[in-house]
Chains A and B, each alone.
Chain A
Amino acid sequence: MNYLLTTLTKKQEVDSMIRDTIDKVLVLCFGRASDSIFLQLDEILYKSVREVSKFATVALVDIDSDDVQVYVKYFDITLIPSTVFFFNAHHMKMDCGSADHTKWVGTFLRKQDFLDVVEAIYRGAMKGKLIVTCPLPPDRIPKFHLLYEDV
């Protein structure tokens, strides 16, 4: 259980994280520590944090904390783990072939996949694009169904 990266539990912490990451991609992963998939994601992130440290920052957010529920609702997080990307306090969308472009649902199959995704986000953001396409082939993207539509 020591593998977990910096886990944020309060809205204020999340806010300061978002606001203080300048010119770097901010990777916020929402999840529960008891979830095995989340732990797998955390493992991959932990291995890659240092490698992307020059252009990205990674943080985990505990979904179960009350303070953060605002964000859980705002970001429409229903499936965990969900990863949201920010750049300069602006939300970056990624088109992975699924219906939900606003976040990445699930874990990454390989560390390299995660690096590719973050790199794609960074490149798009530097060019001024708010939405980027996923560099991974569809078989490497975890599939899920959107639970709610037209709510």
Chain B
Amino acid sequence: MPIQNPNPNKKKKKHSNQDDDEDDTVQGKQRTQFEFCKACRLNHNQGRRHIYFPNHKKALSSFLSRFQSKLKNDVAFYLKKPMPLRPEHAALNRLWCVFCDFDILESDSSFACSGNAIAHLASAEHLKGVKSFLWKYGGGMDRMDSFRISESDFTKWEKKCKLLKSEAAGGGSHGSLIGPLNDIHNESKSEYVNSFDKNKLDCLTSDVKCSNSVVPLQDHTIERSQISHSKICTVGPQILHAGTGVGLGARTPNGLPGFFGNQHYTHSVPKEGPAYSCPNDGKQVYSYEGIAIGDRHSQGTSSEESRLQTQENGGGNVHSGAPPPWFSAAEKIQLDNKLNQGLGDLVSSLGEQMKTSKLNPKRVGAAWAERRKIELELEKRGELVRHDFGADWLPNFGRVWQSGSRKDSRKEFLGENKTWRKVDSQIEKPSQFQPYISKRMRTDNTAE
């Protein structure tokens, strides 16, 4: 039994550390029921207070950012480009959902990598789980959508999977896939040749994406790459010049052996990007082979894109700082001008106030200040007509004897003001003066 304090004024109750449910009296500030906080990984008996402590907030933010990075790297990537799942890789592709507290395995997912995970993340139970987690741990309910997949995204992904499936079904084995691949290859190439100067990259990428049967792009790439390679000299470093930052499949500067060792391609793909920087001629063929074989296990899209881009971009590249191929010189000038005219003006004129970006966003009236600055800027430019706030505007003021919020006090004041004005107007009404007539005068009149 707990010891009841004889002095009820004492705020803290002295209890032995027990998880008694009976002790849940409201007098004391501490609830003695212990709960486990997943973010801080500790048991505490502070109830709802715990989520507002700074340590918890830190722990929670790191916890959520870790999960979010997992989602971004793995799931988001495969949401855009579903790929068939190999059973040997399935065992490695599992995801622990922190909100629902269970492991999502890929064992029977025929769809594509992380099919089960995507399905779970789009489901309603997961949404519930996210909501309750955020409520319980005080994560901020507006972040919900970053932890789940919306229905529209999910349906898009499903469609892509179905396409992939049908392609795979239609193709049959790997070998026969080369057949339709031929077409893609030729199609895209011809399209590309026709639109050498113009920005058709979107077409290309969408074309390639739609087919989705780009996984086993082997022989043709080697052949064609070697042909193209002989024509164009400075192709090498441009391998990296893939439009997408996705990278060129698992590629290490060491080439093949490094890749084959790396079975878990969910991690390998996104991290590639800028790592590749081999010199021009010596390793050319080697690198292309790397691409070709690497594509077996990762997307061929990126390599094809890059290859096509390399053909297009004879001069400079990302490394030399040249503009991307979809910018012709004229367009670039136009774009620069537009940039200058648009927000550039706003920014440059606020040059003296560039400190604004560094001012504490939590300062008093920050939002109002930002809005007002923009208003003033527009007024200067003459774009925004200055609208007078009128005689009734009152600043945000906390009155002396206020009990509610400042808005309430303002309303209160306005209400009081109105009654005063009414009183004033009423007083003014009987202003008609009549000359004084004495009683004698009146009686004289009536008598007469």
Main secondary structure, interface of B, reads loop
Q: What residues of B have a CB within 8 angstroms of the CB of A51 in the complex?
A: none
Nearest B residue to A129 via CB reads B364
In the assembled complex, A23 has its CB within 8 A of some CB on chain B: yes
Is A74 a contact partner of B396 (Cβ separation < 8 A)? no
Q: Which residues 385-428 of B sit at the A interface, judged by CB distance below 8 A?
A: 388-389, 391, 393-401, 406, 413, 416-417
Give the contacting residue for A22; candidates B373, B388, B396, B416; CB below 8 A.
B373
Interface residue count on the B side (C-beta < 8 Å): 29
Q: When chains A and B are docked, how far (Å) is the Cα of A19 from the Cα of B417?
A: 22
Stretch from B32-40, B58-66, B195-203, B355-363 forming part of the interface with A: B355-363
How long is the Cα–Cα vector from A66 to B79 in the complex, in angstroms? 68
| CB neighbours of B363 from chain A (8 A) | 23, 87-88, 125-128
Residue A100, interface by CB 8 Å: yes
Bound CA span A130–B402, Å: 15
Residues of B within 8 A of A124 (CB): 364
| Contact partners of B400 in chain A: CB under 8 A | 76, 100-102, 146
With A11-B391, A70-B417 already in contact, the answer to whether A22 and B362 are too (CB < 8 A) is no
* B369 and A91 contacting across the interface, CB-CB below 8 Å: no
Known contacts A126-B363, A128-B363, A130-B364; A91/B373 CB under 8 A: no
Residues of A contacting B436 in the complex (Cβ-Cβ under 8 angstroms) = none
**Chain A positions within 8 Å of B384 at CB level:** none
Give CA–CA (A56, B268) in the complex, Å: 55
* CA gap between A41 and B65 in the complex, in Å: 54
Residues 252-289 of B contacting A (Cβ, < 8 Å): none
CB pair B360 A127 closer than 8 Å: yes
Output the least CB separation between A46 and chain B (Å). Answer: 25
Chain B residues, Cβ within 8 Å of A151:
401
Say whether A87 contacts B401, CB under 8 Å: no
Query: Is B366 part of the binding interface, using a Cβ–Cβ cutoff of 8 Å?
Result: yes
Q: A23-B359, A74-B413 are in contact. Are A102 and B389 (CB under 8 A)?
A: no
A89–B363 CA distance with the chains assembled, in angstroms: 12
For A70, what are the chain B residues with a Cβ–Cβ distance below 8 Å? 394, 417
A73 & B417 in contact (Cβ 8 Å cutoff): yes
Complex: A65 Cα to B399 Cα, angstroms: 22
Q: Which residues of B contact A29 (CB under 8 A)?
A: none
Name which residue of chain B comes closest to A15, CB basis.
B393
Chain B residues with CB below 8 A from A87, complex form: 363-365
Q: A125-B363, A127-B360 are contacts. A86–B395 as well, Cβ < 8 Å? A: yes
Are the CB atoms of A88 and B368 closer together than 8 Å?
yes
Confirm or deny: A117 has a beta carbon within 8 angstroms of a beta carbon on chain B.
no
A73–B416 alpha-carbon span in the complex (Å): 10
Assess whether B70 is interfacial by the CB under 8 Å rule. no
> Is A92 among interface residues, defined by CB-CB distance under 8 A?
yes
Residues of B within 8 A of A20 (CB): 372, 376
Docked Cα-Cα span, A125 to B364, in Å, equals 5
CB distance B417 to A91 under 8 Å?
Answer: no
| 8 A Cβ contacts from B340-368 to A | 356, 359-360, 362-366, 368
Contact in complex: A74, B389 (CB < 8 Å): no
> Is the beta-carbon distance between B389 and A23 smaller than 8 angstroms?
no
Contact call A89/B360, Cβ cutoff below 8 A: no
Report A-chain residues with C-beta under 8 Å of the C-beta of B359.
23, 126
- What are 5 contact pairs spanning A and B, CB under 8 A? A76-B400, A87-B365, A90-B395, A91-B395, A128-B363
Q: Residues of A at under 8 Å CB distance from B?
A: 11-12, 15, 18-20, 22-23, 70, 73-76, 84, 86-93, 100-102, 124-130, 146, 149-151
Known: A90-B365, A127-B360, A128-B360. 16 other contacts (CB 8 A): A12-B388, A12-B391, A15-B393, A19-B372, A22-B369, A23-B356, A23-B359, A23-B363, A74-B397, A88-B364, A88-B368, A90-B396, A91-B395, A126-B359, A128-B362, A130-B364
The 7 closest A-B pairs by CB, nearest first: A88-B365, A128-B362, A90-B365, A125-B364, A91-B397, A88-B369, A126-B363
